[in-house]
Structure 1
């Protein structure tokens, strides 16, 4: 098979999809956190490489976890033994149809995205031209958008946070920085640069409270600009923040013993688990202010959607949000934060000059 001018691949020695998967997983190691890599291994093994156990979701999960074959089990071959030089769009279409029928649309969509990435790396590293992904494959059903607060409600919440020196920064921060909860709880004071007015996102906190020296994805390692409001709140909080061994460490630690303002709390500074964060810091202000409740991750949606609504180009929004591809920013996170009147006014400004 001819690949490029003066370059050929021996069909007999061409790597299989299973080999390409193994190569791709090795490349991902160290670039994504361990739990993300584990998820990749489960999907690639069960929905791309195969064989695929015909049965219930629980039976497949048990088989994936233990490797024990259920009595009377039947399997379907997938793409594992197919050589890269033999793969074509018709085979991909049939494979995808099989996965959707057996595992559901969500798994089929996720497996398709991983296969596309696997083939792209194989094309680059093995010198084998990958087939184009077929069009018209079944898509996951439209997911309901997360509820987000209006800019007016967020302004009310941030104003209240500025008057709440003990807890305010905890619930205002994700609206002002667009971080994931794991990024917020894993943030260290050494990663806040007040001279350059940026916050360096370099790690996350796992659900156990442990710090992982890695973000969710490569793109998650980024710098977030600080607004004047966020800078002011962080500087004020730095005076009060619980210390670890008398030194500033975590920006959002568990509480210590309260002292008279502005003295810092004593005995705190350790990890704040996510469930405790929600119960102690996140939920109370919504009840107190009479605002519709939204999740901590919804604050990130609000941040991204507001930047878009204010005319910040999608490439910069994606960079600040930690998305490798701006399409993710547009397709999954951006929501309307203004009504149709705002669109009409924009047209008037554009065409009425």
Structure 2
């Protein structure tokens, strides 16, 4: 498990045990980071003072209500899911009877799906990327592979196998530019086949890609500086931080082409949804995307990339054939 993932779990579990600082999100974040109590701070007790044998369904309901008021429905429901797992393990390990989880608790408001580009817009973007020798591969890559930004920025040339025509996802880049030699999940370690377009772009990019010393290292490194005369690159080859990737490569491409702005992660949604729309079976799409369970692919990443007329035409063909 990644250290950052474990840290996230610990933060959520603190919402089970408490005590919870009453205040703004910023105040709670500062308290968590520094351990210094704000002046006049007050704390809300949660469940940490109770033994399991003292825990009741009513206490869980009251605890959840406090969390919804203090930190919001989303975090409250995440904490409830963690608590449910904890109670199940306690029953297995200690043979105690855990209370039933309450029903009918507040649900999070419907989370809107990510905005994704149409197939025509993506085609425009990739066409422009083919002629953009210095930046094109940076913003076209996620649309052609479905990778997460951390996977893209963590890619090394050793992971690009032109003989087997695959890209091997083996690590991620953290926010500070360091590598973690594992992916987000076990299923995230995978091979992604290269299409003709991506292969040509990577072969072209390999010639001019900034080196680490004299050796090719990162596929998407920091660019350094191009000196016009004599034409040569100064520096570059080190880590490219995510915020710099967005500012230097991602955002300018959308501004230049006049396309609706979407986030780098939405390219992953577009990739998965387009494969589904083209009739690729969900199991294969999940495998390429790095999902252990195809229901994640269907439930969270698949979106309509065509309008309703396509469905009506398919219906007409089916009835005509019958």
Q: TM tier, shorter chain?
A: 0.7 to 0.9
Deviations along 1:214-267, whole A, 9 cap, x unmatched? 32333333322222222222222222212112111000112245599xx99564
Once residues 99 and 155 of structure 2 are traced to their aligned partners in structure 1, the CA distance between those partners, rounded to angstroms, is 42
Structure 2 regions of 5+ residues with no counterpart?
none
Q: For residues 133 and 345 of structure 1, what CA distance do their matches in structure 2 show? A: 47
Q: Distance in 1 between matches of 2:110 and 2:288?
A: 26
Match of 1:321 in 2: 289
Match for residue 4 of structure 2 among 29, 35, 39: 35
- Long gaps (5+) in structure 1: 1-30
- Tell me by how many angstroms 1:186 deviates: 1.2
> Relative to structure 2, which stretch is displaced further, 205-214 or 58-67?
58-67
Correspondence for 2:47:
78
Q: What CA distance in whole angstroms lies between the structure 2 residues aligned with 1:134 and 1:311?
A: 41
Q: State the secondary structure of the residue aligned to 1:216.
A: coil
The aligned counterpart of 1:176 is 144
Do the aligned residues in 2 keep the contact of 1:253 with 1:270 (CA within 8 Å)? yes
Q: TM-score, normalised by structure 2?
A: 0.84
Q: What's the TM-score, normalizing by structure 1?
A: 0.78
Work out the CA distance in 1 between the residues paired with 2:6 and 2:91: 21
SS in 2 for 1:299: helix
Across the aligned residues of Structure 1 and Structure 2, the Cα RMSD in angstroms comes to: 3.1
Alignment equivalent of 2:179, drawn from 208, 211, 215 = 211
3-state SS of the aligned residue for 2:215? coil
| SS of equivalent to 2:117 | coil
The number of equivalent residue pairs is: 318
Distance change in 2, residues 1:275/1:132 (3 Å): same
Alignment of 1:1-353 (within 5 A): 31-32=1-2, 34-45=3-14, 47-68=15-36, 71=40, 73-78=42-47, 81-83=50-52, 91-119=59-87, 134-256=102-224, 258=226, 265=233, 267-353=235-321
Secondary structure of 1:223's partner? strand
Conserved? CA contact 2:157–2:216, under 8 Å? yes
Once residues 342 and 206 of structure 1 are traced to their aligned partners in structure 2, the CA distance between those partners, rounded to angstroms, is 41
Equivalent residue for 1:24? none
